[in-house]
Amino acid sequence: MKYSWLSFKAIFVKDIVTELRAKQVLPTMIVLGMLIVWILRIACEAAPASTAIIGPAALWIAFLFSGILAQERSFAAEQHQDCIYGLLLAPVDVGTIFLAKLLVSVVILCIFEIIIVPVVLLFFRLNPSNRLFDLILVLLLGNIGISAIGTLFSAVVHFSGSLLSIVVLVVLLPMMIPATFALLFLFGAIPEHLAGSGALAFVGSFKTAVGYMVAFDAVFTVACWLLFGFAVKE
């Protein structure tokens, strides 16, 4: 157990330190995210009343596309001079490698969120007021979902960027629906009388939306952890 923990810590620290020193992916993610948010904000000028509706969608779009950039990089460094084989030859459980890589991805996405979320709140004049904890919870749940799927598929060697994008996006599509509605509820963008009808029958309240996200995260994280061994070994 202690050995697993030490291996986990070593892989996590190695990846985080490499990223923070080289700054390979974070600046690109932030610029891409800001550009997406900025373009959608300009589009909102046509209907200023819709900022509370477009804002959460803009946040998830920026988060998804920038998040995929982080995922692409997750195993790219390991491909260099076949470092991945060194990692796999080490007496470390593949599940531990997956969890360490997953945490690295979650941390990088959290740093991205710390920068992009205030920009979205400012641009779209959104105010989470006294529901800051709920906002952090929803973002973290979305973060874990994208990291789990992204880490598994980026481990599949030589995955091209565009292919990784569609694979991650299509698998995450069902989770993005409650994720978007959770933020819409949070920012009060959905009128009370509409809750429970149409697409909202899915996610009639903030709690239901968060429940769906927790279920998705749990199922996908466990499944990805179990399948990771097959993804990295020939």
Partner 1 sequence: MRRILLCLAFVLFLLSMWMALTVGRIEGPPANPDSVVRNILYTHVPGSICALLCFFVLLVASVAYLCTKNPKWDILAAAAGEVGAVFATILNVTGMIFSRAEWGLWWTPSPRLITSAILWFLYIVYLILRTAGLPGSQHRKAQVCAIFGIIAFLDVPLVYISARLIPDIHRPNFSFGSNEQRAALVLGMVATLLWAAVLIWLRTEILRNKARLEKE
Among 35, 42, 170, 194, binds partner 1 (CB under 8 A): 170
Minimum distance from residue 211 beta carbon to partner 1 (Å): 11
Instruction: Return the structure tokens found at 92.
Output: 């470390």
Q: Does 216 bind partner 1 (CB under 8 A)?
A: yes
- Alpha-helical (H) ranges within the chain are 2-22, 26-44, 51-74, 76-79, 83-89, 94-123, 132-154, 161-186, 206-232
d(Cα 202, Cα 197) in Å, to the nearest integer?
Answer: 8
Minimum distance from residue 97 beta carbon to partner 1 (Å): 16
d(Cα 184, Cα 182) in Å, to the nearest integer?
Answer: 5
d(Cα 145, Cα 217) in Å, to the nearest integer?
Answer: 5
Q: Does 157 bind partner 1 (CB under 8 A)?
A: yes
Q: Which range in 25-33, 97-105, 122-130, 154-162 contacts partner 1 by CB under 8 A?
A: 154-162
Minimum distance from residue 90 beta carbon to partner 1 (Å): 22
Classify the phi-psi angles of 198: left when phi > 0, otherwise alpha if psi is within -120 to 50, otherwise beta: left
Q: Does 149 bind partner 1 (CB under 8 A)?
A: yes
Sign of CA dihedral 64, 70, 75, 79: positive
Question: Would you say 118 or 161 has its CB closer to partner 1?
Answer: 161
Q: Does 224 bind partner 1 (CB under 8 A)?
A: yes
Question: Would you say 23 or 233 has its CB closer to partner 1?
Answer: 233
Q: Which residues bind partner 1 (CB under 8 A)?
A: 149, 152-153, 156-160, 163, 166-167, 170-171, 173-174, 177, 197-199, 201-202, 215-216, 219-220, 223-224, 227, 230-231, 234
